Amino acid sequence: MDFSIPAELSMFVDSVRRFRERELMPLEQRFLTEGRFTPQERRDLQERARSQGLWALDVPEEYGGQGMGTLATCLVVEELYKHPGMFEFGGSPEPVLYQADEEQKKRYLYPVIEGERRSCYAFTEPGTGSDFARIATTAVRDGDNWAINGTKIFISEVDRADFCILFASTDPEAGSRGITCFLIDMGTPGFDASRPIPTMGDDWEPYELSFSDCVVPDSARLGPVGGGWALANEQLTHGRLKIAAFQLGIAQRCLDMAVEWAKERVTWGKPIATRQGVQWMLADSAVELEAARYLVYRAAWMADEGQPIRNEAFIAKLYATEMAQRVTDRCLQVFGGLGYSKELPIQSFFRQVRVWRIGHGSSEIHRWMIARNLLGLSSRD
């Protein structure tokens, strides 16, 4: 197995770096003080990026995008996540939308690519997270319509969304094979964004969604009845790898800052960089970050070669998210009290990385899946 980063891709990532330095970094101090970008600020930033050609990067060329692959996507988010605002370029739809029929594409996919509409993605429920197949939200067919009832929880980006990609059970006896996907406009009667849920992450306020006799036509169904989990599963793999790539940017930024600070901060007449206790924190962080980087890049390269990466994505996300937790913690320690203060982004990164060990499959579920693959066990074992 051999891979390298093509020179033109490195040059493109340089342009992303320049965007981050010019457009995002000047907003960092205000972001840290206020703890958020407003939805309008995010849109404005995305439009500025668009005017510089940074738009719909991973969208296939046949849909008017730039057709960049998985490795390119990982390198881009790695660069962007060096800013704590979790900013991403616009025009990238949730991959399930490519499975939509032509009418649905006109209503949802193309407007997302154009930046006219945005989605949220609703799977998790109060009683069902890791064990997704047991979702209790039901969609019951009545002629040409479906009646949807249930509650979703921890749904991100609801405040920015125009429609919801909803997963509901259409056959509770059939487990994951009884899950169906629907596209539902915000504001549909019976569909309510019932409450925001403040979290320890800056600027991250997921919502509870409630569906009470929410009636949608069969044309709102995305993919076959019972085919929702198969649609979601592929997306989860690539989502996991992207999350692993976020961690590289976060950890790199914190480590770069900690290295500079260690050289600057003097105690007992010497920079703390000369103390072995500090050096080891930096060295361990560098080693773990480099190991995570190769796991992510290798899996991304394999995906671009058309190889399956389900297990590789589990491994990369598990290692990278736990690495980022350790690295942000050590870097905060190197900064002492300053690291804990909101004058620096370290504390924001430290809080942000915590969620990635939970969302998109927790560390424990990842270990379970990796062990299952290792031991050759099936989903029934």
Ligand X SMILES: Cc1cc2nc3c(=O)[nH]c(=O)nc-3n(C[C@H](O)[C@H](O)[C@H](O)COP(=O)(O)OP(=O)(O)OC[C@H]3O[C@@H](n4cnc5c(N)ncnc54)[C@H](O)[C@@H]3O)c2cc1C
Q: Which is nearer to ligand X, 285 or 347 (CB)?
A: 347
Task: Classify burial at 298, counting beta carbons within 10 Å of its beta carbon; exposed 0-12, middle 13-18, buried 19 or more.
Answer: middle
State which of positions 66-125 bind ligand X (CB under 6 A): 121-124
With contact defined as beta carbons under 8 Å apart, do 184 and 214 qualify?
yes
**Nearest in space to 243 (alpha carbons), one of 18, 91, 9, 86:** 86
Q: Which is nearer to ligand X, 63 or 204 (CB)?
A: 204
Whose tokens are 């493109």? That residue is: 12
Q: Which is nearer to ligand X, 128 or 149 (CB)?
A: 128
Q: Which is nearer to ligand X, 85 or 129 (CB)?
A: 129
State which of positions 35-64 bind ligand X (CB under 6 A): none
What is the residue-wise DSSP string for 3-24? ----HHHHHHHHHHHHHIIIII
> CB of 158: closest distance to ligand X in angstroms?
8
Q: Is 236 in the site for ligand X (CB under 6 A)?
A: no
- What residue number has its CB nearest to ligand X? 129
Question: For residue 311, how many other CB atoms are within 10 A of its CB?
Answer: 15
State which of positions 328-367 bind ligand X (CB under 6 A): 355, 358-359, 362, 364-365
Question: For residue 267, how many other CB atoms are within 10 A of its CB?
Answer: 11
Q: Is 156 in the site for ligand X (CB under 6 A)?
A: yes
Which secondary-structure segment (H or E) carries 52?
none
Stretch that binds ligand X, among 109-117, 149-157, 227-235, 295-303 (CB under 6 A): 149-157
With contact defined as beta carbons under 8 Å apart, do 125 and 221 qualify?
no
With contact defined as beta carbons under 8 Å apart, do 327 and 285 qualify?
yes
- Using CB under 6 A, pick the residue from 154, 229, 350, 356 that binds ligand X: 154
> CB of 277: closest distance to ligand X in angstroms?
32
Question: Binding residues for ligand X, per CB under 6 A?
Answer: 121-124, 129-130, 154-156, 199, 201, 204, 206, 355, 358-359, 362, 364-365, 368
